[in-house]
Amino acid sequence: MRIESIKLKNYKVFQDIELNDLPDLAIFVGANGVGKTTLFDAFGFLSDCLKNNVRQALSKRGGFKEVISRGHQKEMIEIELQFKLIIAGKNRLVTYRLEIGEENGRPFIQREILRYKRGAYGSPYHFLDFSLGTGYAITNEEDFDQPDEKLAREEQKLGSPDILAIKGLGQFEKFKAASAFRSFIENWHVSDFHISDARPSREAGYAEHLNQTGENLSLVAQYIFENHRQLFEEILKKMKQRVPGIKNVVAESTVDGRIVLRFQDGSFKDPFIANYVSDGTIKMFAYLILLNDPSPHPLLCIEEPENQLYPSILIELLEEFRLYAKKGGQVFVSSHSPDLLNGARPEEVYWLVKKEGYSKIERASDHPGIRELYAEGDKLGYLWKENYFIGSNPQ
């Protein structure tokens, strides 16, 4: 499953945006405060809504008044995502739509819909349709040859008007699109790696996936070493190519029951523990662990991967993102680095521009001038610095 399009209305700095035909790897650039993190947070918001309810997801972000675009308090927050999913043997474009309002300090779901077309013709059919805590879902959605009136509706009353219908229904296999979408959102991941969090040793434990800040790096390294040895060897091979001197990395248990990462430099007998190797060494190792995850996230959002890394390595890192996307996970990246963009293609690059308080998003490949210069050999990082991404550089 992958995201085809995103529509946001009144979600913070995005008063009204639409991204269509999203690629496997999308890189978002733009000045500070234009909304790169906010775009990723739209997925975090949905995931928090699923974990608890809409009220708690809003509270975590300062409440409805902070989330709704300034000056649009009387309107609804609208989130619409489209994704492709194989249903009854065909790849179908499914739309999930959510509208959230607030009255007397209480948030409510005005509408939640999951729809897709049953045949080549006709308008999309609502397989799930809820408003203010009541609605229906179709229980035999895969019976495509049935006429509309034969589709079985299950009427439902949710516990409260701020609970997502996909939260409950998505647990059941029979609601195919709802459960696929639910699991997509649940397994979405953002990586905002903090070197200082990843360095120290960790109490022994178990972790298969690197967490948001990378603080469980030593545990995940140990997991991959013990359960996916071949993969670990490949990670080491890439480490050696990219960080001069590195010969080996091991995750070791200490006598006091902690796991510590040790980096072996080829020139010295004793390895360095993670506290004493360079920032870039830790970061490169963390990215290799993140990107070689044996079970990739369906959507991985990475914040500013360029910090601490040597410019020429960034091009290889981009290639690594593309490989990750091929294994099944879409990758969205935020960046301030022209060096990173120098390895990117026009259809992968978006820039954000803020005007009168709200942001719009442009795609490099939608601009014929940029496409032509790229075809002639100009690199996108260079074109960005030369102000071809109109409005993206601070004045």
Ligand X SMILES: Nc1ncnc2c1ncn2[C@@H]1O[C@H](COP(=O)(O)OP(=O)(O)OP(=O)(O)O)[C@@H](O)[C@H]1O
The CB-of-68 to ligand X minimum distance in angstroms stands at: 6
Asked if 191 is part of the footprint of ligand X (rule: CB under 6 A), the reply reads no
Asked if 32 is part of the footprint of ligand X (rule: CB under 6 A), the reply reads yes
Residue environment code for 290-316, b if the CB has 16+ CB neighbours within 10 A, otherwise e: bbbbeebbbbbbbbbbbeebeeebbee
List the x/- string, 244-283, binding to ligand X by CB under 6 A: ----------------------------------------
Distance CA 150, CA 287 (A): 51
The string of DSSP codes covering 83-111 is EEEEETTEEEEEEEEEEEEEETTEEEEEE
Residue corresponding to tokens 């990758």: 331
Stretch that binds Mg ion, among 36-44, 73-81, 137-145, 362-370 (CB under 5 A): 36-44
Instruction: Give whichever of 37 and 292 is closer to Mg ion, judged by the CB atom.
Output: 37
The burial class, CB within 10 Å (0-12 / 13-18 / 19+), for 336 is: middle
List the x/- string, 47-66, binding to ligand X by CB under 6 A: -------------------x
The partner residues of 246 in beta bridges, in order of sequence, read 265
The burial class, CB within 10 Å (0-12 / 13-18 / 19+), for 371 is: middle
The burial class, CB within 10 Å (0-12 / 13-18 / 19+), for 385 is: middle
Interface with Mg ion (CB under 5 A), residue from 10, 15, 37, 69: 37
Asked if 38 is part of the footprint of Mg ion (rule: CB under 5 A), the reply reads no
Interface with ligand X (CB under 6 A), residue from 20, 33, 203, 257: 33
Interface with ligand X (CB under 6 A), residue from 36, 115, 189, 367: 36
Long-range contacts, 311-316 (Cβ 8 Å, 24+): 311/337, 311/339, 312/339, 313/242, 313/284, 314/339, 314/340, 314/342, 314/343, 315/339, 315/340, 315/342, 315/343, 316/242
Stretch that binds Mg ion, among 5-13, 34-42, 90-98, 142-150 (CB under 5 A): 34-42
Instruction: Give whichever of 311 and 394 is closer to ligand X, judged by the CB atom.
Output: 394
Interface with ligand X (CB under 6 A), residue from 51, 60, 70, 153: 70
The CB-of-282 to ligand X minimum distance in angstroms stands at: 21
Number of chain positions touching Mg ion (CB under 5 A): 2
Asked if 359 is part of the footprint of Mg ion (rule: CB under 5 A), the reply reads no
The CB-of-298 to Mg ion minimum distance in angstroms stands at: 22
| 3-state SS, residue 282 | helix
Both structure tokens of 11: 């979600």
Instruction: Give whichever of 12 and 36 is closer to Mg ion, judged by the CB atom.
Output: 36
Instruction: Give whichever of 34 and 163 is closer to ligand X, judged by the CB atom.
Output: 34
Asked if 290 is part of the footprint of ligand X (rule: CB under 6 A), the reply reads no
CB 327 within 8 A of CB 320: no
Instruction: Give whichever of 274 and 331 is closer to Mg ion, judged by the CB atom.
Output: 331
Asked if 47 is part of the footprint of Mg ion (rule: CB under 5 A), the reply reads no
Asked if 44 is part of the footprint of ligand X (rule: CB under 6 A), the reply reads no
CB 318 within 8 A of CB 344: yes
Distance CA 240, CA 246 (A): 5
Both structure tokens of 104: 């007397």
List the x/- string, 300-339, binding to ligand X by CB under 6 A: ----------------------------------------
Task: Give me the residues that bind ligand X (CB under 6 A), please.
Answer: 12-13, 30, 32-38, 66, 68-70, 357
Task: Give me the residues that bind Mg ion (CB under 5 A), please.
Answer: 36-37
